[in-house]
Structure 1
Amino acid sequence: MSQPERVLLCYCTCPDAASAQRVAETLVDERLAACVNRLDGIQSTYRWQDQVTTDSETLLLIKTSAERFDALKQRLLDLHPYELPELIAVPVERGHEAYLDWVRNAGEN
């Protein structure tokens, strides 16, 4: 019996709610992600162009499969307004199997 495909939880920050909504809807509509949660109002502190900056951003929590990750990454880079968008994928080690199957199937019931 083969192992089920790995589920990934991806993190991505956006500069505002409108761009986060556009990215989230596109990724789900194109079945590159099963679900995207948007967390508004996070504060990010980072170094960019030799300056330490703090900005308010929207964090996306993107649920997808390892198989869809490369296509998701390319689409996110096409859509994202940042010159260097954050995209970090973390493998999901455990979870509710029925939910993980739903993610593997890009949200198909």
Structure 2
Amino acid sequence: MKPLLILITVSSEEEGARLASALLEARAASCVNLLPAIRSFYWWQGKREEAAEVLLLVKSAQEQWEKLETVVRRQHSYECPEIVAFSPERVEGRYLAWWEGELGAFSLES
């Protein structure tokens, strides 16, 4: 498995918790951290915007990308949700084994 760290912004902690739960239930993520009270400044449809948001830091894998993207698009309140993935260069071995094991558990169950 190729691990991914994925950033997703949402409108509230409640939405973040619902999305985190949906991602875990689908086994599209092994862990989701909610980072509350971020303030975002951005352009949207030609206008400068500012919003209070919550950032989700999702631990997933390249092999789960399509499933993760489907869950996010289905559950997210935004017309154009942020779903940005990064590949970590290094992950501590025991943590990586857990990370991959939790994602692989879905394959064993289905």
**TM-score, with normalisation over the residues of structure 2?**
0.89
Q: 2:25, 2:66 → 1: CA distance?
A: 16
Q: Identity rate of aligned residues, in percent?
A: 34
**TM-score, with normalisation over the residues of structure 1?**
0.90
Q: Is the CA contact 1:20–1:58 (under 8 Å) kept in the aligned structure 2?
A: yes
Q: Is the CA contact 1:32–1:106 (under 8 Å) kept in the aligned structure 2?
A: no
Per-residue deviation, 1:66 = 1.1
Q: What are the ranges of 5 or more consecutive residues in structure 1 without an aligned counterpart?
A: none
Q: What are the ranges of 5 or more consecutive residues in structure 2 without an aligned counterpart?
A: 106-110
Q: What secondary structure is seen at the aligned counterpart in 2 of 1:38?
A: strand
Which has more helix, going by share of residues?
Answer: 2
Corresponding residue to 1:84 among 80, 83, 87:
80
Q: Pairwise mapping of residues 24-39 of structure 1 onto structure 2 (< 5 A)?
A: 24-39=20-35
- Cα RMSD, aligned residues only: 1.1
Q: What secondary structure is seen at the aligned counterpart in 2 of 1:68?
A: helix
Q: Pairwise mapping of residues 1-109 of structure 1 onto structure 2 (< 5 A)?
A: 5-106=1-102
Corresponding residue pairs, total: 104
